[in-house]
Each structure stands twice: as C-alpha cells, then as structure tokens.
Chains A and B, each alone.
Chain A
Amino acid sequence: MPTKILIVDDEPDLQLMITQKFRKQVRENEMQFVFSTGGVDALKKLQEEGDVDVVLTDINMPEMDGLTLIAKLNERYPLLKAVIVSAYGDMANIRTALNLGAFDFVTKPIDFHDLEITLYKSIREASSMKQAAKDRDQLVTLQHELEVARRIQKSIVPRTFPPFPARQDFQIYADMIPAQEVGGDFYDFFLIDQERLGFVIGDVSGKGIPAALFMAVSKTLLKATALKGLPPGECLEQVNRILYMESVAAMFVTIFYGILNTRHGEVEYSNGGHNPPYILRGNGKVESTEIGGGLVLSALENSRYKTNRFVLQPGDGLFLFTDGVTEAMNTEQNEFTATRLIESLKRQTGADLTGLVNGVINDVRVFSTDAPQADDITILSLRYGGRAHSAEG
C-alpha cells in the first residue's frame, strides 16, 4: 500500500514539482499524491480519501489558509503529520504553524532534496504513530479478552451456595480469589449418588493463561472420571495418565480428591501432591490429614495413588486450601504459614462455613496488608451434619 500524501496549494508550482520529482515513487507504488487547491477542499478530500498519512500545505490561500487548516487537522486527524510550506525567513508563521501542531516545515523556494527528506521523515513518524495506535487497540482487545476469560473461569467453578439446599446432612462452602485476571487454582463438588459427595481442590503449576487452560482441563477431567464412582486413588491414577499424555512443557497439577459418605461420615480420599487439608473437630481441635500422599498429577505416566480414610463425626468439618493461603506474604516477605492458618481456624470455631472461610480470608488479608497477592487463594470447606459413624454399626 502506497503512503497517501495530500498536497494543498492554490498555485500550480508545487503540484508540478511533486509530479515531476516523485515520479519514481509514484510509479513504484511507494507514494500516492492527492492534490487540493485550498483548506476547505483539503478537508473534503481528506474525508473522501480516508487514509491520508501526510499533508503538505501552503500558508497563503483563499477561503481557508494553511494555518487554519493545520489547526483543524490537529483536531480531527491526530495521527496525521502536517508539513507547511512557508516563505523563506517567515519565522512568525512557521512558529504559529508548529504551535498549532504542524510536524515540520519547508521554505520557498523549495529545495527538492530537503523536501524529500522532510516527506520521508513525516511518513516514518506517521506510520510509527499508526503502529502505536494499533498496538494500543490490540492491548485493549487483549485486556477485554482476559476479562472475558476471567468471567468464564469464575463461572466454571460452582458459585451458588448452598448448592444442595434440601440436604441437611452436610454443608459446603468455597471461594477462589485469583492473583491475576485468571488463575490456576480450582475447586469442585458434586453428588456421585444420593449418599456420596465428591469434593476436590487443585492447583496448577505456573500462572496466567497457560495455568488457566490446564486448570479447566484438569477440573473437567476429574469430575468426569469421579462421576464413574471410582475410589479416589483409582480416579487420580486415571486422570493422571490422561493429563500426562496431553500435557506439554512439564506442567503439573496438585489435586486432593475426597468422597464424603453422607450416611455415616466416612471420608475416602487420595492426595496428589496437594497441601494436606485440615480436619476441624467439633470441639475446636484442628487435625492435619497425613502428609506423604502421591506425586503431583501429570508429572509421571504411571504414578500410583493410595486411597485413605478418616471419619467425620456430626459437627466435624474439613478445610481444604491452596498454598496461596499459607504462602501469602506480607510486606516484610514473611509467609502466612500453616501455623497462622491453624490459629485462624481455631479462632473461627463455632462460626458457620461462610463465616469460617471469610474469617480465614480476612485474616490472610489483614496479615498481608499492602503486599500484592502473589498466588491464587482458594478455600473449600465442608461440614458433616449426618448421623454418627458408630450408630451405623
């Protein structure tokens, strides 16, 4: 595409010189010239032509002079570069034109070589301005897409609480706060059948869009596999194999997957490299589930995952979290740590689940005041409200 240049002069000499001297550029489709005889006509031509990059204009013209034209150009076409042609030594007009937004000037009698340099310089400037404007538009588009991605990601984890209002035998509550627009954490829960509640929390290595995509795949795959009703260990083994085959660049995901039996409170679980959740006993005691589960998922093809068990008594709860909680930093670069988390959990004893989760999030926020959130913060908590295990026999 040639650069379009508008020449504005009420006398024919400029047009004559341009057509002669820039023959080569026109022939080679490098430049295209449009000619106009005055300010009013120039504005009309600009509107018709649309994509003019550079305007070369005389100052003294009837109807609308060059200076008025420059002022209007600056207002209406901020990306366009204007060059004025003035009488030699006419410093007053040159200053006025530059102050009105002209990019440069040439003086009469026009020296062709100087005009050529000035035009090329103006063309370069105009095209770099155009590129900058294009980059900015692209950035705005990207930001918009990221915002859409953020909303999609927010909506793929369950957000309606309570999710099963008719069920009195358990409660569940969760929240996820990504550090950037999109994150790599996730949680999920679903009824496998009337007496088995599956629940899961996960954390993908890395951040941003790659982590978000891997998070969506992991979450979907886990749920689809879990709904087959497999024991948690077997479920993680299947998910691991598929993720391993699909994964690129050694991304991995930590997953804790548990099944609560809502009839007698037993929890079957398997841990693929995730921070061990806490058991919140009804009396306020906080117990850690065992460390030493399996490897993070998607790391090795044939990782094995054990299924372990513990029992929740009526009133007992579970607290699942990602390392964004324990590794939240304050401005002195200290971490929130598991110790502070346990203290916080003990302080929330007696609160309902929403109060518990929000209480912990608030404690993390107070701790890390003014320090930017470095990692996604995700919490899932549940409470067993059914019958005691012993009563079941």
Chain B
Amino acid sequence: MEITQTQNGEVLIFAIQGKLDSLTSKTFEGRLIPPIEQGNKKILLDFSEMDYISSAGLRVLLLAARLLSDSDGKIALCGLKPSIKSVFDIAGFSAVFPIFPSLPEALDELKK
C-alpha cells in the first residue's frame, strides 16, 4: 500500500494505492488520525487506486469520521471501485460516508 498526501486549500487529501488490510491499516491510521487530532477539519480520501479494504480499514475510516464529527469537520470519499463500493454497501458505510465519483466533485462538496 502507498499513501500520497496532498493539500488543496484547507482540504487534506489522502490517495490510497493498493490494499488496505489489517497490516497496512495501522500505517494508514498513523497517517490519517494525527492530522485530524491536530485540527484539520476537511479530509478527502481518494480510493480510485485502492484494490481492497478489510474490516480493519473500515475501522480507521470510522475512527476518522467520529473524530471529525466531534470537531465539526467533514470527510468525503471518491473513486471507489465496484468491489470496494460493494463492501461499503454491505457494511452500511455508503449511507454514512459521502461518496463521490470523482475527486473534483468531492473537493467541491468539502469546500462548500
């Protein structure tokens, strides 16, 4: 798994490449959670290059969402492959996380 972190205005963007499984999720947690705890309120997760997500990966998303909801922050996801979307649908995450087809659309939403 590779994580590419960029910034667009006040939006922090994390692009995930590869598999988010029980092993790599710890790395992801270490990259995603501290910036939120330090006060970043707008997080965009670009999953267009992500091939797999396990329940450990979902847990990190949930952790981020909880922290952001405590701090009146916002999170958005974009570019989910069909297999990833199906995991989100089964777990009920599709109804909780704002999901956009492309990065510009997700950015627009976060910048509102």
What residues make up the interface of A, taking CB atoms closer than 8 Å to B? 203, 205-207, 249-252, 254, 272-276, 291-296, 299-300, 303, 323
Asked whether B90 lies within 8 Å of A276 as measured between CB atoms, the reply is yes
- In the complex, B56 has a CB within 8 A of chain A: yes
- In the complex, B55 has a CB within 8 A of chain A: yes
Asked whether A299 lies within 8 Å of B89 as measured between CB atoms, the reply is no
Give min CB distance, B41 to chain A, whole Å. 19
Bound state CA distance, A249 and B62, in angstroms? Answer: 10
**Residue of B58, B66, B92, B96 with most chain A CB atoms under a 10 A cut-off:** B92
**With A207-B22, A250-B63, A300-B96 as contacts: A275 and B90 at CB distance below 8 Å:** yes
Q: Contacts of B96 on A, CB cut-off 8 Å?
A: 295, 299-300
21 inter-chain pairs at a CB distance below 8 angstroms, sorted by A residue, are A205-B56, A206-B56, A206-B59, A250-B60, A250-B62, A252-B62, A272-B92, A273-B90, A273-B91, A273-B93, A291-B86, A291-B89, A291-B90, A292-B89, A294-B92, A296-B91, A296-B93, A299-B62, A299-B92, A299-B96, A300-B96
Q: Contacts of B89 on A, CB cut-off 8 Å?
A: 291-292
Which of B56, B60, B66, B92 sits near A295, CB closer than 8 Å?
Answer: B92
Give min CB distance, A353 to chain B, whole Å. 25
Q: Output the nearest chain A residue to B25 by Cβ-Cβ distance.
A: A206
Q: Contacts of B90 on A, CB cut-off 8 Å?
A: 273-276, 291, 293
Q: Contacts of A291 on B, CB cut-off 8 Å?
A: 86, 89-90
Bound state CA distance, A272 and B95, in angstroms? Answer: 12
Q: Output the nearest chain A residue to B67 by Cβ-Cβ distance.
A: A250
Bound state CA distance, A291 and B63, in angstroms? Answer: 24
Bound state CA distance, A275 and B56, in angstroms? Answer: 16
Which of A205, A276, A295, A300 sits near B55, CB closer than 8 Å?
Answer: A205
**With A249-B63, A250-B66, A299-B62 as contacts: A203 and B92 at CB distance below 8 Å:** no
Bound state CA distance, A125 and B15, in angstroms? Answer: 50
Which of A205, A272, A294 sits near B58, CB closer than 8 Å?
Answer: A205
Asked whether B22 lies within 8 Å of A296 as measured between CB atoms, the reply is no
Bound state CA distance, A295 and B62, in angstroms? Answer: 11
Asked whether B92 lies within 8 Å of A250 as measured between CB atoms, the reply is no
Q: Output the nearest chain B residue to A275 by Cβ-Cβ distance.
A: B90
Asked whether A254 lies within 8 Å of B91 as measured between CB atoms, the reply is yes
Asked whether B92 lies within 8 Å of A205 as measured between CB atoms, the reply is no
Asked whether A205 lies within 8 Å of B59 as measured between CB atoms, the reply is yes
Asked whether A296 lies within 8 Å of B92 as measured between CB atoms, the reply is yes
**Residue of A293, A299, A303 with most chain B CB atoms under a 10 A cut-off:** A299
Bound state CA distance, A272 and B55, in angstroms? Answer: 14
Q: Contacts of B55 on A, CB cut-off 8 Å?
A: 203, 205-206, 252, 254, 323
Bound state CA distance, A292 and B89, in angstroms? Answer: 6
Q: Contacts of B93 on A, CB cut-off 8 Å?
A: 273, 295-296
Q: Contacts of B56 on A, CB cut-off 8 Å?
A: 205-206
Q: Contacts of B59 on A, CB cut-off 8 Å?
A: 205-206, 249-252
Give min CB distance, B30 to chain A, whole Å. 14
Q: Output the nearest chain A residue to B57 by Cβ-Cβ distance.
A: A205
1/0 per residue B95-110: CB within 8 Å of A? 1100000000000000
Q: Contacts of A303 on B, CB cut-off 8 Å?
A: 92
Give min CB distance, B99 to chain A, whole Å. 14
Give min CB distance, B52 to chain A, whole Å. 9
The 10 residue pairs across chains A and B that have the minimum distance between CB atoms: A295-B92, A205-B55, A250-B63, A273-B91, A273-B92, A250-B62, A205-B59, A294-B92, A296-B91, A299-B62
Bound state CA distance, A300 and B93, in angstroms? Answer: 11
